[in-house]
A and B are shown apart, each in its own frame.
Chain A
Amino acid sequence: MVKRILVVDDSLTVRHQVAVALRAAGFEVVEAIDGRDAQDKLDASIAMVICDVNMPRMNGLELLETIARPMPVLMLTTEGQTTLIARAKAAGAKGWIVKPFRAELLVAAVGKLVGAP
């Protein structure tokens, strides 16, 4: 079964970029617009989460706290958010990617975390 990835970002543009890159690589993508929306869509079919930090209603770090550990989470950050990155790592994030990102490197990182599509 093709692996499904939950992409959480309040920016339509970023969600679109991530989704296009992942779909081109063969993954299935589910989109969520913030942490709350992500909680509703997170179920057993999801293989990993790619998650923005700053979002309305529920931000990326709050979402991270609610996700059970085995689920790989990759944070999308903007440059210079070093304390946030440290907090995300402590809360169990598997890594981070700085926006704007290179599509092929994002796909490589996802492949490293969940394997082939």
Chain B
Amino acid sequence: MSTIEALEKQLAAYRLLDETSDAIPFRLAPDLSRLLYVGPQAERLLGIAQAHWLVPGFLDARLSDEQRAATLEQFRIVIEFGASHEAEFRLLRDDGSWAWIRCTMRAFDGMVAGHLLDITLRQRLTADHAQLQRLEAVGRLASGIAHEINTPLQFIGHSLEFLGEALQELLPGASAELRADSEEALARCNEGIERVTALVRSMRTFVHAGAPQKTPADLADLLRSAIAISASEHRAVASIVTELAAIPKVRCFPGELGQVFLNLIVNAAQAIAETKRRGTITVSTRVDGDAAVIAIADTGGGIPEHARARVFEPFFTTKEIGRGTGQGLAIARAVLDRHAGSIDFTTELGRGTTFTVRLPLTSLPA
């Protein structure tokens, strides 16, 4: 074997190693305008078609707005000063989701050469872990606050009742106008108290709902609680319409189902918010044969075609990291599995999405 043949064989062996590794080799042009080469595994590992990588302006188009300038500056310095460097950034995949990448690089023959490693999962786990801890802390806090609010609420209520009666005795000497105004003020106080009481009761439904076994629960109550708790998400962007049929109680894990309804309502509100138009969330229930059917419909932009098959996948999200965990619908499906139920959706671009939850009514007490 000649020296050249031996070298070629060795080169082929190195290339094979490089092109089958999880670390994707790449080379970037000196002016950063385009990639000159990317390993063939890039499409499979990062979800960006092979042809797209080599298009001029690829990095400009695929880096996020907040990272673009800083990331390109790092590449520039590596070339200009012959440095080696490690950077982390995210790239837009073809399906609209983000891939987090760890990039090791060095200057090579006037270019940047290096490897890209997909760290999306690690990035998500870290973000999710933080998010879950935050939620857990908020849950504990909410439980404590709900309890603490309840006691003063009760004595405010009782005192108002007393004041109402006392006013009846005090007012006869007052003008008709003062009497009317006072009674109206009292009525407003009572209405406020009722609203706060209802909200606190809703919070307690959620917080105390981690029952170890299934208990009969009123779906309408769970839905109303979910609507009340998520008010801050939907009030500004949507009107809520409820069409709640009379449905017998369902044996379920109320906390888990409540969480599912809450997630669906929050998702609906966010879908509407993205359209920048005020919309409607319709929450309805009905009985269909031996199943209770709960539908949550929004007038948002609909789910894009490429995302439809993946919405129930754990970690799939098109939202910013830290905003959506990509867990909401995955958890919903798991919860419905535990209830021998199902969750599905219909969607139309520009018209909105309807999520439909089915729960069996069969094993119910009368």
Least CB distance, A77 to chain B, in whole angstroms: 10
Interface residue? A62 (CB, 8 A)? no
Within A5-30, which residues are at the interface with B (CB < 8 Å)? none
What per-residue 1/0 map shows which CB atoms of A82-115 lie under 8 Å from chain B?
A: 0000000000000101101010110011001100
Instruction: Please name all residues of chain A whose beta carbon is closer than 8 Å to the beta carbon of B77 when the two chains form the complex.
Output: 97, 102, 105, 108-109
What per-residue 1/0 map shows which CB atoms of A21-64 lie under 8 Å from chain B?
A: 00000000000000000000000000000000000000000000
Size band of the B side of the interface?
10 to 19
Q: Output the nearest chain A residue to B87 by Cβ-Cβ distance.
A: A102
Q: Are B69 and A105 in contact (CB under 8 A)?
A: no
Q: Output the nearest chain B residue to A107 by Cβ-Cβ distance.
A: B83
Q: How far is the CA of A108 from the CA of B76 in the complex (A)?
A: 13
Q: Are A109 and B80 in contact (CB under 8 A)?
A: yes
Instruction: Please name all residues of chain A whose beta carbon is closer than 8 Å to the beta carbon of B73 when the two chains form the complex.
Output: 98
Q: How far is the CA of A112 from the CA of B82 in the complex (A)?
A: 7
Instruction: Please name all residues of chain B whose beta carbon is closer than 8 Å to the beta carbon of A102 when the two chains form the complex.
Output: 74, 77, 85
Q: Output the nearest chain B residue to A112 by Cβ-Cβ distance.
A: B81
Which of A95, A100, A105, A112 sits near B85, CB closer than 8 Å? A105
Q: How far is the CA of A109 from the CA of B190 in the complex (A)?
A: 70
What per-residue 1/0 map shows which CB atoms of B172-203 lie under 8 Å from chain A?
A: 00000000000000000000000000000000
Q: Are A108 and B80 in contact (CB under 8 A)?
A: no
Least CB distance, A113 to chain B, in whole angstroms: 8
Chain B interface (Cβ < 8 Å from any Cβ of A): 69-70, 73-74, 77-78, 80-85
Q: Are A109 and B74 in contact (CB under 8 A)?
A: no
The 9 nearest A-B residue pairs measured at CB: A108-B83, A109-B81, A112-B81, A105-B77, A98-B73, A112-B82, A95-B80, A108-B81, A79-B69
Q: How far is the CA of A13 from the CA of B37 in the complex (A)?
A: 40
Interface centre among A95, A98, A105, A112 (most CB of B within 10 A): A105
Q: How far is the CA of A111 from the CA of B346 in the complex (A)?
A: 60
Q: Output the nearest chain A residue to B77 by Cβ-Cβ distance.
A: A105
Q: Are B74 and A105 in contact (CB under 8 A)?
A: yes
Contact sample, A vs B, 7 pairs, CB 8 Å cutoff: A100-B70, A105-B74, A105-B78, A108-B77, A109-B83, A112-B83, A113-B81
Q: Output the nearest chain B residue to A100 by Cβ-Cβ distance.
A: B70
Least CB distance, A93 to chain B, in whole angstroms: 12
Q: How far is the CA of A76 from the CA of B146 in the complex (A)?
A: 54
Q: Output the nearest chain B residue to A96 by Cβ-Cβ distance.
A: B80
Instruction: Please name all residues of chain A whose beta carbon is closer than 8 Å to the beta carbon of B85 when the two chains form the complex.
Output: 102, 104-105, 108
Instruction: Please name all residues of chain B whose beta carbon is closer than 8 Å to the beta carbon of A98 when the two chains form the complex.
Output: 69, 73
Instruction: Please name all residues of chain B whose beta carbon is closer than 8 Å to the beta carbon of A112 when the two chains form the complex.
Output: 81-83
Instruction: Please name all residues of chain B whose beta carbon is closer than 8 Å to the beta carbon of A104 when the two chains form the complex.
Output: 85
Q: How far is the CA of A108 from the CA of B80 in the complex (A)?
A: 10
Instruction: Please name all residues of chain B whose beta carbon is closer than 8 Å to the beta carbon of A97 when the two chains form the complex.
Output: 77
Instruction: Please name all residues of chain A whose beta carbon is closer than 8 Å to the beta carbon of B69 when the two chains form the complex.
Output: 79, 98
Q: Output the nearest chain B residue to A99 by Cβ-Cβ distance.
A: B73
Q: Are B81 and A95 in contact (CB under 8 A)?
A: yes
Instruction: Please name all residues of chain B whose beta carbon is closer than 8 Å to the beta carbon of A95 when the two chains form the complex.
Output: 80-81
Instruction: Please name all residues of chain B whose beta carbon is closer than 8 Å to the beta carbon of A109 when the two chains form the complex.
Output: 77, 80-81, 83
Least CB distance, A58 to chain B, in whole angstroms: 26
Instruction: Please name all residues of chain A whose beta carbon is closer than 8 Å to the beta carbon of B78 when the two chains form the complex.
Output: 105
Q: Output the nearest chain A residue to B83 by Cβ-Cβ distance.
A: A108
Instruction: Please name all residues of chain B whose beta carbon is closer than 8 Å to the beta carbon of A105 when the two chains form the complex.
Output: 74, 77-78, 81, 83, 85
Least CB distance, B110 to chain A, in whole angstroms: 14
Q: How far is the CA of A98 from the CA of B73 in the complex (A)?
A: 7
Instruction: Please name all residues of chain A whose beta carbon is closer than 8 Å to the beta carbon of B82 when the two chains form the complex.
Output: 108, 112
Known: A102-B77, A105-B74, A108-B85. 17 other contacts (CB 8 A): A79-B69, A95-B80, A97-B77, A100-B70, A102-B74, A104-B85, A105-B77, A105-B78, A105-B85, A108-B77, A108-B82, A108-B84, A109-B77, A109-B81, A109-B83, A112-B81, A112-B82
Least CB distance, B106 to chain A, in whole angstroms: 10
Instruction: Please name all residues of chain A whose beta carbon is closer than 8 Å to the beta carbon of B81 when the two chains form the complex.
Output: 95, 105, 108-109, 112-113
Least CB distance, A20 to chain B, in whole angstroms: 19
Least CB distance, A100 to chain B, in whole angstroms: 8
Q: How far is the CA of A104 from the CA of B73 in the complex (A)?
A: 13
Q: How far is the CA of A97 from the CA of B73 in the complex (A)?
A: 8
Least CB distance, A65 to chain B, in whole angstroms: 23
Q: Output the nearest chain A residue to B82 by Cβ-Cβ distance.
A: A112
Q: Output the nearest chain A residue to B69 by Cβ-Cβ distance.
A: A79
